[in-house]
Amino acid sequence: MKLIPKRKLYVPEGGTLSETTISNLTQNVSYNLPSTSLMLSKLLVDISKDWWGFSINNLGSPSDIYGAVRKVDLLSAVEFIIDGSGGLISTGQKGHIRLPFAGTIISVALAADVSGSIVVDIWKDTLANFPPTVADSICANAKPTLSSAQVMSDSTLSGWTKTFAYGDFLAFNVDSCTTITRVTLTLVVRRS
């Protein structure tokens, strides 16, 4: 069993503890922090240290600006730029990206270089079933759409298939476009 150096858990001013040092921890062991003696919503973990092999239980849900950071609280942006190289964006597939983590889509946004109209469909499939096709659309009848506008955002995602697995591929297909020569599609996702 390998011993690792001291790791510090800090609670900001106003918490029940000012500093607690956990030393001689062993890898691959879970440690429960008693929620009754520690305000876990104010827990900060020193992320400059190697915590591989450890898990902290009883973290609960963050409730304030000092919220304890959990993996599921990490938001990321997945962005895809469609560029017409100075000309009008043509219809059809524009490319693929592979997702490096599992998660859930919580919103989509489009931002164009000029006001115009565009409809972008997003297709998702696994590595084994690559490439995605129109039958793999995740957008249902709520495709990201600009209609005589320059920006849009949607966090309702009505009918969408929002979850994805590590290694899934997304394909981006332009169904229609007028005026726009460059657009950025942004998916805000919560990691699982």
**Structural domains for the chain:** 7-73 (no CATH), 75-191 (2.60.120)
Q: What is the pLDDT along the chain (192 residues), one digit of tens a residue?
A: 344 444 444 444 444 433 444 444 444 444 444 444 444 444 455 555 555 555 554 445 544 444 445 555 678 899 999 999 999 999 999 999 999 999 999 999 999 999 999 999 999 999 999 999 999 999 999 999 999 999 999 999 999 999 999 999 999 999 999 999 999 999 999 988
- pLDDT score for 74: 72
- pLDDT score for 50: 53
- pLDDT score for 183: 98
Whole-model pTM? 0.66
- pLDDT score for 26: 45
Write the secondary structure of the chain as one string of H (helix), E (strand) and C (coil): CCECCCEEEECCCCCCCCEEEECCCECCEEEECCCCCCCHHHCEECCCCCCCCEEEECCCCCCCCCCCCCHHHCEEEEEEEEECCCCCCCCEEEEEEECCCCEEEEEEEEEEEEEEEEEEEEEEECCCCCCCCHHHECCCCCCCEEEEEEEEEECCCCCCCCEECCCCEEEEEEEEEECCCEEEEEEEEEEC
